[in-house]
Structure 1
Amino acid sequence: MSLQFKRFSVLFLLLLLLLAVAGTSSSATLEELVGTDRAAALSGPEPITEAQLKDPQPRLIPMDAGLRRFVDEAMDALDPSLFVESLSLYKKPPSAAEPWTEAERNALYNETLAISTLAGIEYFSVSRNRMRTFYETSTVIDGPETKKPLTDPVYTTPPAELRIYARQKDLTFGDNIYQYTYYTRTDALIFVQENLSPMSVGPISVVRKNRLRSIIAVIDAGDSLLVYVASMAKAASFPGMNERAGRSFTNRAEAILTWFSVRAGTAFEKAKAGASS
């Protein structure tokens, strides 16, 4: 056997090994993402939530460098006066894979793109002491200027980054335009919401244009999905307004977590059906 052939054989084997490693999906454990104590706390039925109004800093954020960068960049841009975090755990169905398959991740991606399904979700209103509709209407649009309604997008293969626009009528903050940017990773889905119109309560302007960010991360954690929500805003300062807004944002974040649980269940069912067909 010639020396040249031996070298070619070794290089070929190394290439196969690299391709095998590249094609293997892996996920961090829950304990690696949030620590042992917080992992135990997440085993309960309620999400962990926290609201900060003065010199806020992320306290519930998972140990994920990419997610941390998104949150830090948003905080640097806004210098928020209101910061709300929620952390919850979605237990995968028994039929789901550990870590998730590409088909399961893609199904989850498309379910989070289903902006129209946000219409009608409810949250607990502190001021009214009862459940109240969050978004009365929620529609994907072609752009912030023309506002032409579109159907929810669906992708066979999610792009690494995608930007869409939505028009959502909030019974508290009115009819507003938002930008959603979606990021896809092997082990996570992250999307960022930003307001493109000022948000008002009646005649009072509460949050100016581009002064709200909501970051939602869905991270694969083996037999579960770790869901992190961070909502922050540079809000107008009125006596008692920030405290009231903090409670409202906390309850709204929990409503989004409930919405995601429903969408995740649908996604895993679709992935299962696709695998068996």
Structure 2
Amino acid sequence: MNFSELFPDEDYRFHMALQRGTTEEFFKPTSANAALMAERRRWLRSEPRVYSACLPECSSLLNECIALALGWRTLSESECAAVMAQPAPAQRCLRLGEIWEPDFLLLHPDATGAFHLLGGCVAFPSSWSLEEKIGKPIEAIHGPVPGLNAQLGRSIHSFLGKLSAGETRLRHNWGLSRSPELNQHPNRALPRLDASVQLNEVWLRVERQALVRLPHTAGILFGIRIEMHPLTELRRDALAAARLVRALRTMRIETAVYKGLASSRERIIDLLERG
């Protein structure tokens, strides 16, 4: 992949960086489907309440999403029938999560226009818990991220409110981890980065996102795909390595703490620059 596209040629800051895309392309199966779905089903079936949630008021959003997925050809007719055969919204949500490759969230605006998280399946979370976020408005969900609401809160709210029916926009986030695991739920207590880390222990975690307006319910379908790349691979791309170093150097300490990089970023910079 082109790693340099992940890192703007500028100091670190939060940004939207939205691009146009298609729902069909984002949600369709990939060449890694068999392995991804085996792992997704393992987590969803072992701890469904940890990795899936659906409030009663999410039912209409979920049903619209399922119907649209049939038209997008990301669900077959038999898969759609199997999902809709589930008697309760929570069961339908879980069943959809066992068919789709990407994680997904469903959001809906309240009377004031504030979007709340009403349901979804997240088998591969990036150090956050769906159980803790369900039912909350976006501002509260983003609350733990230092400076995000102040910098982008209004832009996010405005963007979601203006997204046209059926429109799909794509964006990405990145982070660094000491584990290549796709599922980085906080309750797994995976190894954390620190000043002792070696280059072959650091992984670039890329979170690709799709935001889709549901035309009838005015809800938002939020898709998430996770990619893991060894930092040794990124280091071979001189431009990407230089941009990552710049991002790490200019990241505010509060953000570095949140991203688990406070004690390791100088070490990672050194590894990228000197090996």
TM-score, normalised on structure 2?
0.27
Where is the strand percentage greater, Structure 1 or Structure 2?
A: 1
Where is the helix percentage greater, Structure 1 or Structure 2?
A: 2
